[in-house]
Structure 1
Amino acid sequence: MSDKILNIALADDDEDDRMLFNEAIDEIAIRTKLSLFNHGQELMDYLTLPNIVLPNLIFLDLNMPIKNGQQCLLEIRSNPRLKDLCVAIYSTSSSEKDIEETFLNGANIYVNKPNNFSKLREVVEKVLQLNWQYHTSNLNKETFLFRI
């Protein structure tokens, strides 16, 4: 077992969703450090600080005030220091337009927010266990939308 800690960030304006996500992470047997952000601008301000440890994976809600997930994704992909970060869109939206747009804008995976806690824990655990190098090198529309 590796001593490596998985650095994860979640940007979501819904306080209940942040709390449940945090609880799910706590119950998973993967060593993680979770940073929570209330909206996209807060996340982007953090990511552009000098000398921070960049997250291994960012979960981005699409519908947030101030700066939404789509805007964050575009900013991340256009920033040379951030462009290779793994980004999981984490949204209640199952709109084809949202899925298509985030795929084209360079997200690594699209996860629909589950409607119960045990499914949430299962989804988060599976996403954290993905072999990201393999997943991103074989990315297509079928592997992009994560279903459980």
Structure 2
Amino acid sequence: MANSDFHILLADDDEDDCMFFKEALDELSLCATLKTVNNGVELMDFLENNLPNLPQVLFLDLNMPRKSGTECLSEIKQCEKFRHLPVIIYSTSSNIDVMDQLYRQGAQYYIRKPADFSNLKTVISRTIDLIKQKRVLQSSREEFVIQP
């Protein structure tokens, strides 16, 4: 996968979090493009309408209007045409039971949204490196949560 060809999709309804993510990505030495969607319905529509050109990774917030991140993850992992898409949960939740459920549903990694900009850059960079190395392989449960 060419470094200049890395496409990231962020599904998050919080404009500030989207801006924070974009700024962190811009400061990293990655050649990547970022597309954002603001709710679960928009996410699923985007995926359906971009089948030949799906992103290399999806960062997925859990708490979104119209369709939750959990519902979207379930649909993505049950659909043959999307199943290979690496899904990184990107949420404020630190509930272990929720993390376990998301792992069982097929999410590749889980990031708890960091409040610190430097930590955000670290987890984004680490996650993208892991996705590039492992492609679509799911992490072990012990490696599921990515921390700064």
After TM superposition, is the score higher than 0.5? yes
- CA-based RMSD: 1.7
Q: 1:88 to 1:3 in 2, by over 3 A?
A: closer
1:60 maps to what in 2? 60
Higher helix share: 2
- Secondary structure of the corresponding residue to residue 66 of structure 2: coil
Verify: 1:117 aligned to 2:117, yes or no: yes
Q: Deviations over 1:105-147 (max 9, x none)?
A: 0000001100111111111111111155537546221011112
2:36 maps to what in 1? 36
Alpha-carbon distance in 2 for matches of 1:110, 1:126? 12
Alpha-carbon distance in 2 for matches of 1:61, 1:25? 17
- Secondary structure of the corresponding residue to residue 80 of structure 1: coil
**Number of equivalences:** 147
- Secondary structure of the corresponding residue to residue 53 of structure 2: coil
Q: Which aligned pairs between 1:1-148 and structure 2 lie closer than 5 A? A: 2=2, 4-49=4-49, 52-132=52-132, 134=134, 137=137, 139-148=139-148
After the TM superposition, which segments of 4 or more aligned residues of structure 1 sit over 3 Å from their partners?
A: 131-138
Alpha-carbon distance in 2 for matches of 1:142, 1:42? 32
Q: 1:132 to 1:5 in 2, by over 3 A?
A: closer
Identity %: 40
Q: 1:97 to 1:126 in 2, by over 3 A?
A: same
Contact 2:108 2:138 in 1 (8 A): no
- Secondary structure of the corresponding residue to residue 81 of structure 1: coil
Unpaired segments ≥5 residues, structure 1: none
Alpha-carbon distance in 1 for matches of 2:50, 2:87? 20
Contact 2:61 2:69 in 1 (8 A): yes
| TM-score (norm. length: structure 2) | 0.92
- Secondary structure of the corresponding residue to residue 124 of structure 1: helix
